[in-house]
Amino acid sequence: AWGGKCPPTQTGGRERWSMVELKPGDLIEIFRSCYQHWAIYVGDGKVVHLAPPCKCPPSLKGEVSLSDRAFVKKDWLEDVVRKDRYRVNNKHDETHPPLPVSKIVRWAEELVGREMPYNLTSHNCEHFVMELRYGVAMSDQVGVTEAIAMGTVGVMGMAAAVIRSMAQRRKHRKE
């Protein structure tokens, strides 16, 4: 189910978005411009997610990290989502039975504040939440990221070959 901007509700003096379909332990897929950020819903409008070390404004938190370290944070879902689309995406429930909800939430809460290794292809925010829900760190974005990287390398190699060929032609014309 797609999440979006529902009517705000007042709870504890803090405005937040009404979460009709969210259940503790749900995986939240947030659609950023070039990638998906992932979080796990822990209840009461809050999520736990892996975020880069950042002294930047809240509007930039939860972005892809160029660092090899990240921090486990607990934030309001609306603050992590910002104006982006999001949805509940427990996509591996058919092939990997989820851990008990109490264990997922307890484990997520215990990790809040910890510094963790971060790597775009082996320890990213999707790996983090998948391990919390299923006990297995996995990411479908990795294949896409690697394909883009390989495509970029391939294009760069072809460009280098074309430039080399053009340089050789110029050299032969001058001779």
Q: List the CATH number of the domain containing 38.
A: 3.90.1720.10
Per the structure, the complete domain to which residue 163 belongs is given by 140-175
Query: What's the CA gap between 6 and 67, in Å, rounded?
Result: 34
Q: What's the rounded mean pLDDT across residues 162-167? A: 66
Residue 148 has pLDDT above 70, yes or no: no
Cα dist. 3→77, 133, 152, 166 in Å?
11, 19, 33, 53
If asked whether residues 113 and 168 sit together in one domain, one would say: no
Query: Bridge-partner residues for 70, per DSSP?
Result: 116
For residue 37, indicate whether it is catalytic: yes
What pLDDT was estimated at residue 76? 97
Domain count, the chain: 2
If asked whether residues 58 and 120 sit together in one domain, one would say: yes
* Residue-wise pLDDT tens digits, 108-137: 999 999 999 998 888 899 999 999 999 988
If asked whether residues 135 and 147 sit together in one domain, one would say: no
Mean pLDDT of the chain: 77
Q: Could you say which of 6, 125, 127, 172 is catalytic? A: 125
* Residue-wise pLDDT tens digits, 40-83: 999 999 999 999 876 444 444 445 556 789 999 999 999 999 99
Query: Bridge-partner residues for 28, per DSSP?
Result: 39, 88
Query: 93 pLDDT band (50/70/90 cuts)?
Result: very high
For residue 49, indicate whether it is catalytic: yes
**Burial label, 164 (beta-carbon count in 10 A; 0-12, 13-18, 19+):** exposed
If asked whether residues 125 and 156 sit together in one domain, one would say: no
If asked whether residues 43 and 63 sit together in one domain, one would say: yes
State both tokens at 165.
Answer: 């060929």
Structural contact between residues 46 and 78, judged by C-beta atoms closer than 8 angstroms: no
Structural contact between residues 22 and 105, judged by C-beta atoms closer than 8 angstroms: no
For residue 127, indicate whether it is catalytic: no
Structural contact between residues 83 and 63, judged by C-beta atoms closer than 8 angstroms: no
What pLDDT was estimated at residue 8? 40
Q: Which helix (H) or strand (E) holds 154?
A: helix 141-174
Structural contact between residues 84 and 17, judged by C-beta atoms closer than 8 angstroms: no
Whole-number CA gyration radius for the chain: 21
Structural contact between residues 70 and 113, judged by C-beta atoms closer than 8 angstroms: no
What pLDDT was estimated at residue 103? 97
- The pTM (predicted TM-score) of the whole model is 0.67
Query: What's the CA gap between 173 and 20, in Å, rounded?
Result: 72
Q: Could you say which of 6, 34, 49, 127 is catalytic? A: 49
* Residue-wise pLDDT tens digits, 52-61: 876 444 444 4
If asked whether residues 152 and 113 sit together in one domain, one would say: no
Q: Could you say which of 37, 92, 96, 172 is catalytic? A: 37
